[in-house]
Amino acid sequence: MTKLNEEVRDLAVEELDLVSGGLRWSAMTPAEWNYTLERTVVELRATGSYKAFEKEYFRKDGSRVPVLLGGATFDERGDQGVSFVLDLTERKRAEEELRESERRYREAQMALAHANRVTTMGQMAASISHEVNQPLAAVIANAEACLRWLDRETPDLDAARRSVEWVIDDSNRASDVIQRVRALANKTSIEKVPLNINYVVREIIALVQRELISHQVSLRTELTPALPLILGDRVQLQQVIINLVMNGIEAMQSVTDRPRELMIRSGQDETQHVFVSVTDCGVGISAENADRLFNAFFTTKSSGMGMGLSICRSIMEGHGGRLWATANVPHGATFQFTIPVNSDITP
C-alpha cells in the first residue's frame, strides 16, 4: 500500500525505516489499540476497505499523536491500495479548549446563581429571622409550661408530656427553616429529584411571610391539588419562585390607590406541563422594557444587578421549561414558568 509521506514526517518517523521494513505501523501503535488495528485488517481483507476511525500512534520521542485513518485496496488481491493518516492534534486541542470553555461557563453560571441567592437571602434576612424566632419562642413557652405542670403538688404528667411533644414539633419547625436557608445559601451542585411543585411553593411562602407583612402585601394562592410530579432541583426552583415573589413585592411598593395583592397559582396546562404563575398589581411592564426583562444586566431598579430574571430563565431552560412575563390589564404583571411532566415518575 502507498503511504502519505507528509503524514509520516508529521509522526517524526524516518521514511527510510518504513520503506526498508525496519519499522512497522503496528510497532508505532500503543498496546490498547492493537485490537482495533487487528479488527481493521480483518475488515480490509474481507471487504477491500475499512471505515475511517480514530486511534493513536507513538512519535519517535515516545509521545502520542491522535490520528484519523482510512483506506481501501484497488483489486481483489489486496496488494495495492491507498490509505490516509490525518494528524488530529489541532482538532483535539480545539475540542479540549471548547470543553474547558464550556466548563468555565457553567462554573460562572453557578457562581452568578449563588451570588443571586445570597443577595436574595440578605433582602429576606428579617423574614428568615422571624420564621426562626417563632418556633424558638414556642419552644421556650412550652418548656416553661412543662416545668409548671411538673412543679404542681401533684404533677400533671399528661400535660407535661404534651408540652414536651410541642417542644419537639417546634424545634423541628425551626430546624426545617434553617435547613432551607442553608440550602439556598450554599454553593451546591444541581440535584434533580421528583418533586411536587406545590410543596416547593409552600416552602418559599414560609420564607417570604415577613417581607409580605412589612410591605403590606396580601398573598393569595390557588394551588391545583394532585399535580403530577416533575423532575427538578428543589433549591433552584425555590430560587426562581422567591425571585418572582420578591419582584412582585417590589413592583407594588409605590402603589397607594389600591390593595397590594399577590397571587400564586399552580396547575397543568394544555401541553401537559406543570406551571406556576406569580401575579402582582404593581406598576406593570412598559412596552420598551418587555423585550429586555430577561437580558443579563438589565434592571429598572436603582440598586439592582439585573441578573435575577436572567438567572431564573437559565434555571428554567436547564429544567426543559420556559419562563416569560405578560402585562396585566389594567395593572401589574404576571410571571409564569412551565416544567415538563416526567412520565417515568409515579406520584
Domain extent for 55: 5-87
In this predicted structure, the answer to whether residue 38 has a pLDDT above a threshold of 50 is yes
Residues 180 and 286 in one domain: no
Rounded CA separation 58/70 (Å): 18
Assess whether 40 and 164 both reside in one domain: no
Task: From 233, 255, 209, 239, select the one nearest 309 (Cα to Cα).
Answer: 239
328 and 199 inside one domain: yes
Whether the per-residue pLDDT at 222 is higher than 90: the answer is yes
pLDDT of res. 10: 45
In a domain, 115, yes or no: no
Same domain, 217 and 297: yes
Q: What is the mean pLDDT of residues 196-219?
A: 86
Dist CA 184 CA 208 (whole Å): 13
Sheet holding 81-87, edge to edge: 49-58, 64-73, 81-87
Mean pLDDT of 195-217: 86
Of 309 and 146, the one with more pLDDT: 146
In-domain check, residue 41: yes
Lowest-pLDDT range, 12-21, 59-68, 199-208, 337-346?
12-21
Task: Return d(Cα 60, Cα 68) in angstroms, integer.
Answer: 18
Question: What is the pLDDT at residue 180?
Answer: 62
Q: Which grid coordinates belong to 171? A: 424545634
What confidence score (pLDDT) does residue 109 get?
61
Which of 135, 159, 187 terminates a domain? The answer is: 187
* 142-167 tens-digit pLDDT: 888 888 888 888 888 888 888 888 88
Residue 217 and residue 331 share a domain: yes
> What is the structure's pLDDT at 224?
93
195 and 142 assigned to the same domain: no
Q: What pLDDT is attached to residue 225?
A: 92
pLDDT for the residue numbered 298? 39
pLDDT at 124: 59
According to the 3-state scheme, what is the secondary structure of 52-68? EEEEEEECCCCCEEEEE
Q: Look up residue 227 and give its DSSP letter.
A: P
CATH value at residue 331 = 3.30.565.10
| Cα 11 to the center of its chain, rounded Å | 43
Model confidence pLDDT, tens digit, residues 250-297: 888 888 888 899 999 999 988 889 999 999 988 777 656 556 666 544
Q: How confident is the model at residue 21 (pLDDT cuts 50, 70, 90)?
A: low
Distance CA 251, CA 244 (A): 10
Q: What is the pLDDT of residues 74-85, one digit of tens each?
A: 766 656 777 777
Residue 108 resides in a domain: no
Q: What is the pLDDT of residue 339?
A: 93
What share of the chain has pLDDT > 70, as a percent?
70
Query: Picking from 102-116, 221-235, 242-256, 259-273, which range would have the lowest pLDDT averaged per residue?
Result: 102-116
Q: Note whether 264 and 333 are same-domain residues.
A: yes
The reply to whether 268 falls in a domain is: yes
> Total domain count for the chain?
3
248/312 Cα distance (integer angstroms): 14
Length of the chain: 347
Q: Which residue has the higher pLDDT, 216 or 27?
A: 216
* pLDDT of 22 strictly over 60: no
List 67's β-bridge partners, or say none: 55, 87
Tens of pLDDT, residue by residue over 92-109, are 888 888 888 777 766 766
Give me the pLDDT at residue 330, please: 82
The residue with greater pLDDT, 176 or 328, is: 328
What pLDDT band is residue 4 in, cutting at 50, 70 and 90?
A: very low
pLDDT averaged over the chain?
Answer: 76
Residues 64 and 205 in one domain: no
**147 and 196 share a domain?**
no
For helices 197-214 and 157-185, the axis angle rounded to 10 degrees is 90
- Mark which of 168, 187, 206 sits at the end of a domain: 187
Residue range 198-213: average pLDDT?
84
Residue 127 — pLDDT band, cuts 50, 70, 90?
A: low
Sorting pLDDT into bands at 50, 70 and 90, what band is 170?
confident
State the pLDDT at residue 29. Answer: 78
